[in-house]
Amino acid sequence: MSEQPRSIPSGSVGLDALLAERAIERALLRYARGVDRMDRDLAASAFHPDARITLGGTVADRDTTLDVVFALVARRTMTMHYLTNVLVELDPADPDRARAETYGIAFQRSPSEPPHGNIVSGFRYIDLVTRRAGEWRVRERLTVSEWQRVDDLAGQWPIPEASLRGARDGSDPVSRPWPPDCRGA
């Protein structure tokens, strides 16, 4: 006799926790994509409007921090953020509060000669995340720098001209419309 799979009730704490964790991870990913694609609105959507962010020893509100971040990345020809280990801890005393620790690596390119702007860095985000009106966003962020190195451009393999390349002006392939439905084709 085979055992029937058990379904998880929609109101269960386990499912609610999984949904909260996923929503928090998606907020973090929106910030990374927003910075890399130079989409300020998308990056801002990861934070509550009154968020406080510590970056480089400075504590500021969301919009002031984004002014600084976007001024820095505008001087680069490319940035690419990899968010790797994401550990979300839901507050057992408050279902609308969580803490997330996220490890990351960022690559940055600049048209200037090395070492100006051609760096690879390791960092962590330690975020206090809250749910307001059903939406999870970062309320407080600590950016922790772990390591940084100059990226030797002379040792890099050139990208062939015919290759599809990323863009930061809204023309990136990820911004293309969804293809037409091709089921049954």
Which pTM was predicted? 0.83
Is there a domain that residue 132 lies in?
yes
Is there a domain that residue 146 lies in?
yes
Sort 40 into a burial class: Cβ within 10 Å, 0-12 / 13-18 / 19+: middle
Is there a domain that residue 130 lies in?
yes
Range of the domain at 131: 13-154
Which tens digits make up the pLDDT trace of 62-103? Answer: 999 999 999 999 999 899 999 999 999 999 999 999 999 999
**CATH code, domain with 22:** 3.10.450.50
Is there a domain that residue 182 lies in?
no
Is there a domain that residue 118 lies in?
yes
| Contact of 90 with 98, CB cutoff 8 Å | yes
Is there a domain that residue 178 lies in?
no
Is there a domain that residue 181 lies in?
no
Give the total number of structural domains in the chain: 1
pLDDT value, residue 11 = 47
- How much is the average pLDDT of 117-138? 95
